[in-house]
Amino acid sequence: MQDQAKQEGWGHFKPTAMLVMADGTVIEGVGFGATGKAVGEVCFNTAMTGYEEILTDPSYAGQIVTFTFPHIGNVGANGEDVETVDYDHVQGARGLIVRAPVTAPSNFRAEKGFDDWLKARGVIGLAGVDTRALTALIREKGMPNAVIAHDPNGVFDLDALKREAAAWPGIDGMDLVPDVTAAKDYRWTETTWRLGSGFGAQNGTRFKVVALDFGVKRNILRLLAEAGCDVKVVPATTSADEILAMKPDGVFLSNGPGDPAETGKYAVPTIRKILEARVPTFGICLGHQMMALAVGAKTMKMRQGHHGANHPVKDFTTDKVEIVSMNHGFAVDPASLPANAVETHKSLFDGSNCGIALTDRPAFSVQHHPEASPGPQDSHYLFARFIDMMEKRRAVAVP
């Protein structure tokens, strides 16, 4: 590690940050961002852009992100790219690992340097790491539990860090939604961003949509608002009776972190009642897993998960292949899907399930992120599919 750091221009190398894994493996490097320590599950993300959106995605709660792209942070940071709804509450990744040192920001949208932004959000960075080797380790052995620590003086209690990493129970079996869900109901009216004008404001609505918040991203809400939805976001523990009393035209099940089976203990009964009421329902990411659990399917922990903006997925309803953004460490077991749940999307990387539609209810969900922030916009049509579903229900509704 020290030889590598010297070769890459770090000069005199003194470790000021380290990653200590549960099995005792230690990776040393140069710290940046916040100081201190944080424990989490180490994953890798293959996206070449969008590091700010990735780090503020609530679905990354409880995780430490290894970026495979070597140059992270060089375009700085700005308030527009934050995906966490609550700007002041840290609801994303606990730390990040990169190969190259962070340089001064070079982008016309930058409002501050990446290092200062990380310090303000309390996120720890570790640089000077062979991220290719770490990615290979994760692919071979799975996502490890670890502690990331940063001390500018390079003083660490290594034995204590090893004990902390080994003692952390891991995300499997952990409900992280309470850390990221809304504290109370609120309405969303901001629409999508455009160069030169920024974000738009909603001008008229057609459908009432209740969004059940498991850790929702801003751009999902923007696309719903852009499509003409009067969006009301509610906490994850909101009951089905409360939601149905709002008389929504549709219900949205958001993305989020943690083990879906644990969140499902309180969310699945709610979703079942919504489906039984035949309210059009659309789920993304954790929302997809929640819908699958609600109809009797099972979820399973993935070894390395899917994290990136270059994943090929086939939509069997259109027979097209899309490049999508993904961020999940659990997946729906396709073999457990009941007869009324048809598989609509599949990953072309590993064949894992990426979408379902119910044959007896107006409901569908996808594992990937069609709002694509960051990422391609191949799957934006899914929001139009949700709108079409609500239009059809309204057309046959009895006055």
Query: Are 268 and 299 contained in the same domain?
Result: yes
Query: Are 272 and 336 contained in the same domain?
Result: yes
Given pLDDT bands bounded at 50, 70 and 90, which one contains residue 86?
Answer: confident
pLDDT single digits (tens) 142-170: 999 999 999 999 999 999 999 999 999 99
Query: Are 153 and 250 contained in the same domain?
Result: no
Q: In which domain, by residue range, is 73 found?
A: 2-167
CATH number of residue 27's parent domain:
3.50.30.20
CB 147 within 8 A of CB 37: yes
CB 26 within 8 A of CB 156: no
Residues with Cβ < 8 Å from 96, sequence gap 6 or more? 33, 51, 55, 64, 65, 66, 67, 72, 118, 123, 124, 125, 126
Given pLDDT bands bounded at 50, 70 and 90, which one contains residue 14?
Answer: confident
Q: Residue 1's pLDDT is what?
A: 40
Does 325 or 5 have the greater pLDDT score?
Answer: 325
Assess if residue 51 is contained within a domain: yes
- Residues assigned a catalytic role: 285, 369, 371
Return the structure tokens found at 42.
């180490």
Structural domain tally of the chain?
A: 2
Pairing label, strands 229-235, 207-213: parallel
pLDDT single digits (tens) 103-147: 999 999 999 999 999 999 999 999 999 999 999 999 999 999 999
Pairing label, strands 353-358, 341-347: antiparallel
Interatomic CA distance for residues 119 and 117, integer angstroms: 5
Assess if residue 57 is contained within a domain: yes
Assess if residue 28 is contained within a domain: yes
CB 365 within 8 A of CB 282: yes
pLDDT single digits (tens) 212-225: 999 999 999 999 99
Q: Residue 90's pLDDT is what?
A: 67
CB 332 within 8 A of CB 288: yes
CATH number of residue 200's parent domain:
3.40.50.880
Query: Are 274 and 381 contained in the same domain?
Result: yes
Assess if residue 172 is contained within a domain: no
H or E element at residue 360: none
- Decide if pLDDT at 210 tops 60: yes
Q: Residue 11's pLDDT is what?
A: 52
Interatomic CA distance for residues 210 and 243, integer angstroms: 7
Query: Are 199 and 243 contained in the same domain?
Result: yes
